[in-house]
Amino acid sequence: MAVNLGGIAMKNPINTASGTYGFGWQFEGFYDVSQLGAITTKGCAAEPWPGNPAPRMCDVYGGVMNSVGLQNPGVKGMVAEAGEYLAKLAEKGTAVICQVAGHSVEEYVAAVEQFEELAPWAAGLEINISCPNIAQGGIAMGSTPDGAAEVIKAVRPRTERPLLVKMAPTRVPEVARALEAAGADALSVINSIPAMAIDVDTRRSKLSRPTGGLSGPACHAIAVRMVWEAAQAVQIPINGVGGVSSGRDAAEFILAGATSVSVGAANLWDPTCAPRILQELTAWVESQGVDDVNELIGAFEC
190 labelled binding-site residue: yes
Strand 124-128 and strand 57-60: the pairing is unpaired
Give the Å distances, CA to CA, from 300 to 67, 256, 297. 35, 6, 8
Is 11 known as a binding-site position?
Answer: no
66 is in an annotated binding site: yes
Three-state SS annotation for 153-212:
HHHHHHCCCCEEEECCCCCHHHHHHHHHHHCCCEEEECCCEEECCEECCCCEECCCCCCE
Q: Tell whether residue 216 is among the known ligand binding residues.
A: yes
**Is 67 annotated for ligand binding?**
yes
- Helical pair 247-256 and 220-233, crossing angle rounded to 10 deg: 30
Q: Residue 128, annotated ligand binder? A: yes
Report whether 243 belongs to an annotated binding site.
Answer: yes
Catalytic hit among 44, 98, 131, 273: 131
58 is catalytic: no
C-alpha 178/C-alpha 167 separation (Å) is 12
Of 122, 121, 124, 129, nearest to 45 (Cα)? 129
Report the SS3 class of residue 250.
helix
**69 among annotated binding-site residues:** yes
**Cβ atoms of 296 and 12 closer than 8 Å:** no
Please choose, from the candidates 60, 72, 58, 44, the residue with its C-alpha nearest in 3D space to the C-alpha of residue 209: 58
Does 51 carry a binding-site annotation? Answer: no
Ligand-binding site membership of 92 (annotated):
no
Show the DSSP H helices in the chain as ranges.
74-91, 105-118, 139-142, 145-155, 172-182, 220-233, 247-256, 266-269, 273-287
Q: Does the annotation list 166 as a binding residue?
A: yes
Residue 18 labeled ligand binder: yes
Query: Which residues are identified as catalytic?
Result: 131
Residues making up the binding site: 18, 42-43, 66-70, 128, 166, 190-192, 216, 242-243
Annotated binding residues for FMN: 18, 42-43, 128, 166, 190, 216, 242-243
Annotated binding site for substrate, which residues?
42, 66-70, 128, 191-192
